[in-house]
Amino acid sequence: MVKDLSVKLGGIRLQNPVVPASGTFGFGLELADDMDLNALGGISLKGTTREARYGNPTPRIAECEGGMINSVGLQNPGIDVLVNEKVPSLRKLYDGCIIANISGFSLDEYRECCAKADACEGIDLIEVNVSCPNVHNGGMAFGTSAASAAEVTAAVKAVCRKPVFLKLSPNVTDIVSIARACEDAGADGLTLVNTFLGMRIDIARRKPVIANKMGGFSGRAIFPIALRMVYQVAHACRIPVMGCGGVASAKDVIEMMMAGATAVQVGAENLRNPFACPEIVAELPALMDELGINTLQEIIGTV
């Protein structure tokens, strides 16, 4: 029997739930010569700010057991390049869901960038990052309190007609209250989780490995914690969730969906294996057959 991998996310049909996470797949164009991008359910583009950013000083990536720490610092060409160059170029090659990931340092910046993303014909969904732990006095400040996260949500929803998903930080004491605040402020969905704040020290040099001292820890090691947070939020909110954090296999995708995720983002695994996402998509039908699953939509939130 042919398996149905499709899901409906914020009113948008995805042919499968697998989405490369922002910051781990560039703008999609970088891998277009090496794989069929149309095998992917969606693509979350590199995080974008109003002005071009060159990011944090190097070294800004450190390998860890079970994952990695990064402190790239939102290096990107700016919103105008995204909507005028990157997205039109990607749309010529890719038919699926294009997700703009927007970061900001003020409500005005969030509003301006999201309005431009909303007006861009090739963008289907807007993912608002209030959780980046790498930029001082930046996005993380908005995502660490329910009131601030709700304020950003309302500001963005006022200028957007397309679905808006808030990407939440796990570096909080109560992610459910923040998720509910975003839902109450009008969010169409939620993405969780972003990276955990981590650190490594070079004991020979007696200095932090990362120039910025701390950075975002991601990779397979965080999967159980991310899964728990997805479960808690998906069962506390009525809006759809994109699960993210340590996903590295088709089994992980099924787990995330059973916990309540409608779609599943793959992050650090793309940096270890650039073909991780299409490989996971290809493995899903056999796993579904083994588990007696005919459609992925039917397993969302079954645990």
User: 146, exposed or middle or buried, with CB in 10 Å at 0-12, 13-18, 19+?
Assistant: buried
Nearest-angstrom CA–CA distance, 303 and 295: 16
Strands 97-102 and 241-244: unpaired
- In this structure, what are the phi and psi dihedrals at residue 223, rounded to the nearest 5 degrees? -55, -50
CB–CB of 242/191 below 8 Å? yes
Residue type, 172: V
Tokens of 280: 């996971």
First-residue to last-residue Cα distance in the chain:
25
Nearest-angstrom CA–CA distance, 169 and 103: 13
Mapping DSSP onto H, E and C, the string for 118-173 reads HHCCCCCEEEEECCCCCCCCCHHHHHCCHHHHHHHHHHHHCCCCCCEEEECCCCCC
- In this structure, what are the phi and psi dihedrals at residue 178, rounded to the nearest 5 degrees? -70, -40
Tokens of 156: 């963005």
Choose, from 97, 114, 132, 182, the residue flagged as catalytic.
132
CB–CB of 298/288 below 8 Å? no
Nearest to 71 by CA among 135, 23, 7: 135
Tokens of 81: 């390049």
For the sheet containing 61-64, what is the strand order? 61-64, 67-70, 215-218, 196-198
Q: Is 160 a catalytic residue?
A: no
The catalytic site residues sit at 132
